[in-house]
Amino acid sequence: MFRLLKTFRIVYETKNFSKAADYLFISQPAVSNQIKQLEEELDCPLFVRNGRQEILSTKQADILYEHLLNLTDDWEDVLQALQLQESNRETCRIIASNTFAVYYLPELMVQLIQHFPKVSFVLDMKNSEEVLDRIEKHQAHFGFIEKPLITDSIVRQEILTDELVHAGEFFADLWLVREENSGVFHYTERYFLEHNLNPQKMIIKNNEMIVRCLEQGIGQSILSKRVLTKKIKWRSLGREYQRDFYFIKRPHIKSAQLREIDMYINQYYKN
């Protein structure tokens, strides 16, 4: 049953049998057969197959998925309890958007490692939408994002303010722009509208790459003041270009150790 539920979860999240098969390293017919077997076990349809690549989930599938996420958490708690008997260590997964991950998270980690020596921390970096998606899918315990995303089922708390500036060669034709899902993209587009600009753009999906390009005299950009180096010219854009960072998490955390980490993070940013 665990094998069938794992296949169901991947199909539900990808909405595509072929993608699920690639992820699971099995054939597409094998995925279809496992979903069919699960539907027979539960005596209800889980997906509507419309003859195209994409598939639609049924209401029964939506219910199963929500309960499956909680079941997965319970199973992880069981595994953690068993591992604690051997190693006395628990795992905490933290995921953050680019700027926070590189320039703010390391400072926090110094404190977390010191205060929770029996916890094994796993860190990851994605854009804000992907961070939220990982938290919603119970693939990480805590997240940090730089966009005020709608988080109906997730707790979102404002923790820091970050200043964005105009940096680089101010008269260059080329602009170095983050990808559309990045938190900085919205502010860059606002700047273009305010100044009636339609410039040549180079999409760069990483702040560090933008910084290194600016250091070499390539183009101009809108980015966090925190990432600047002494080689880069910059100017302030005012209060309208200040943004907030947010701490996100699931509303119910079962592990006592993780609840302590949650409280510590909240207190850290209050101070």
Per the CB < 8 A criterion, the answer to whether 41 and 1 are in contact is yes
| pLDDT for the residue numbered 86 | 55
216-to-152, 172, 189, 210 alpha-carbon distances in Å = 43, 13, 24, 10
Please tell me the CATH code under which domain 2-67 is placed.
Answer: 1.10.10.10
Per the CB < 8 A criterion, the answer to whether 219 and 175 are in contact is yes
Q: Which CATH class is domain 161-242?
A: alpha beta
Q: How far apart are CA 98 and CA 6, in angstroms?
A: 30
Q: Tell the CATH topology of 74-160+244-270.
A: D-Maltodextrin-Binding Protein; domain 2 (3.40.190)
Tokens 């991947």 sit on residue: 10
| pLDDT for the residue numbered 24 | 84
For every one of its 271 residues, what pLDDT tens digit does the chain have, with 9 covering 90 and above? 778 888 888 888 888 888 888 888 888 888 888 888 888 888 888 888 776 667 888 988 888 888 777 776 666 665 655 565 555 678 999 999 989 999 999 999 999 999 999 999 999 999 888 999 999 888 899 999 988 887 778 999 999 999 999 999 999 999 999 998 888 998 999 999 999 999 999 999 889 999 999 999 999 999 999 999 999 999 999 999 999 999 999 988 888 899 999 999 999 999 8
Q: Exposure string (b/e) for 86-106, b if CB count within 10 Å is 16 or more? A: eeeebbbbbbbbbbbbbebbe
| pLDDT for the residue numbered 66 | 80
| pLDDT for the residue numbered 83 | 61
Fold matches, 2-67 and 74-160+244-270: no
| pLDDT for the residue numbered 109 | 97
Domain edges within the chain: 2-67, 74-160+244-270, 161-242
| pLDDT for the residue numbered 155 | 93
| pLDDT for the residue numbered 52 | 62
